[in-house]
Structure formats: structure tokens, C-alpha cells
Amino acid sequence: MSPPTTLPRYRLYNAKLFRMLMERTGTGAEVTLRELAEFVGIPHTTIGNVLAGSQETVSSKTAQAIAAAIGVDLLILWVPVQRAAAMQGTPRSLVAA
């Protein structure tokens, strides 16, 4: 059994926003799902599944790579997801909704 990871996983904030940002990235260019996946180094099905809602989260590394490729800050597209136990003692106002 592998040791637990301390890096949070991320869930997509808004699929419609993600699609809009793919139409006009930080460079002003459009990027297809397959182009984005190739650039990030992940299967295109991962992005498709996230957009469809059949995959709820991605790794921290994947979320960061996608945000960077599109040209936006991480938290524009992604919400960190952590175990409840890891959030104990964290003020509610500091926890992403």
C-alpha cells in the first residue's frame, strides 16, 4: 500500500467556463481537447471525462498543467478537494466551497 499523499486533488469548478477558456486561451488562440491533452501529457479521455462529469477529480499536477496551458490561475478552473480530517482546525472561511 502506498503512503497517503499530502497534495490535494482538484475538481473542475465549471465545465462551461473550461470550454470557454479553451476557445480563447491566454495567448488568444483556441485549443482543442486533444491538443490540450497532448500538451499536458495526459490521455484526452481524462479531459473529456472531467468535462462530462464522469471523472470528479484530477491530480494536483494535472490541474496545474491544464491551468498553465490555458493561461489562467489554478483556482480559476479548479477547486481543491481534501479529506475532512485534513481540514480539521481550518477556519471555515478559508475552505473553498
> Which pLDDT band holds residue 77 (cuts at 50, 70, 90)?
very high
85 has pLDDT over 50: no
Q: What is the pLDDT of residues 6-47, one digit of tens each?
A: 688 999 999 999 999 999 998 899 999 999 999 999 999 999
Confirm whether pTM is higher than 0.75. yes
* DSSP H helix total and E strand total for the chain: 6, 2
89 has pLDDT over 60: no
